[in-house]
Amino acid sequence: MKLINLKQNSLKMPNDGLFVSSIVNCKWLYNNQHLENLILLDASVKTDMSSSEDYIPNSRRIDIKEKFSDINAEFPNTIPSQEQFQNEARQLGINNDSILVVYDDKGIYWSPRVWWLFKTFGFKNIAVLDGGLPEWKRLGYETPASFSVFSWKLGNFTAKYDASKMCYFDAILNLSNNDNVKILDARSKERFECLVPEPRKGLRSGTISNSVNLPYTNLLSGNCLKSKQDLTTIFDTFTIEEKLLTFSCGSGVTACILALAAEILDYKQITVYDGSWTEYGTLTK
C-alpha cells in the first residue's frame, strides 16, 4: 500500500494498513476510495423531510439512533450492549480487518459518536471524514441522489468492550469531585450558563458540578475541524496537565467531537459521559 503525504490534520496510512490519525480529509478519501477492505459509513440522521438524501458513493448507512443505541434505555443515544453492537456491525459487513471511514451530512456532528463507539468496542482502524458530506460536495466530488443497492457478506467483527472509554452516572458523581479530573461540557455557552432552556422538553437547565464549558463549535472552522495548532491553543487554556479528561454534552453525541480533538492532540486519558446532561439533569436536582 502506497504511503501518501497529506496536510496537517489528515490521515496517513502506512504499509501495515492502519490509520495513524483519527481524521482523514476528503481528498484522501477521493484518491483512496477503492482501497481493499475500506468501508464508508454514513452516520447522518435525517430529522425532517427536507433533509438532503445526497451521499458519498458506496456508503453504507449506519443507524446510530436505532440499531447502534439501546432504544429501550431511559435516555437517548444510550450505548448498546456489546452483543448488539457486534451483531449490527456484522450486518454492515464489517470485519476485524476492515478500514472504516465515517461521515455525516452536518460536517462533523454524528460521525465522531460512531467513531467513539467503535473504539469503545475495540475497533481501532476507523477515522472521521473531516468536513463530512458538505466538504465532499464543496470540492465537487460525486454525490448520487439516492442510495445505490449493493450487497455485502456478513462481517466477522468481534466486539470487546473497553470500560475506560465511557463513564456513567455513578462514576460522574465521583469524578466531579476529583481534583485529578477535568470535565468539559460541549454544549453552547448559552445552555451551559442556563441563559436559554434545554431543547429537550421537560429537561431542566444546569451543569455538572465542577465542569467547565468548551462548546464543540469552538473546535470547528466551517464544516471542518480546526488545525492541530489551533486545537492545542484551545485545550491549553484549561490547564489539563495529566488529568483525566471527561467529556459531556446534551446526550453523549457532541461530547465525542471533543474526544476526537483530544485524541488528535494525543491526550491519553479520555472518557465520554454517555448519559451526559440529559441523564444528569434528570437524576439530580
Whether the CB-CB separation of 227 and 8 falls below 8 Å is answered with yes
Instruction: Using alpha carbons, list the distances in angstroms from residue 251 to 66, 78, 175, 187, 256.
Output: 15, 8, 18, 10, 10
Q: Rounded CA gap, 258 and 234, in Å? A: 11
Identify the CA nearest to 248 among candidates 184, 173, 167, 163: 184
The two beta strands, 244-248 and 270-273, are parallel
User: 255, 204 in Cβ contact below 8 A?
Assistant: no
Measured from the Cβ of residue 73, the count of other Cβ atoms closer than 10 Å reads 14
Q: Which of 26, 167, 224, 249 is catalytic?
A: 249
| Alpha carbon distance 102, 82 (integer Å) | 20
256 is catalytic: no
Q: Residue 236 in contact with residue 218, Cβ under 8 Å?
A: no
Q: Which residue has the cell 477503492?
A: 34
Active site residue ranges: 249
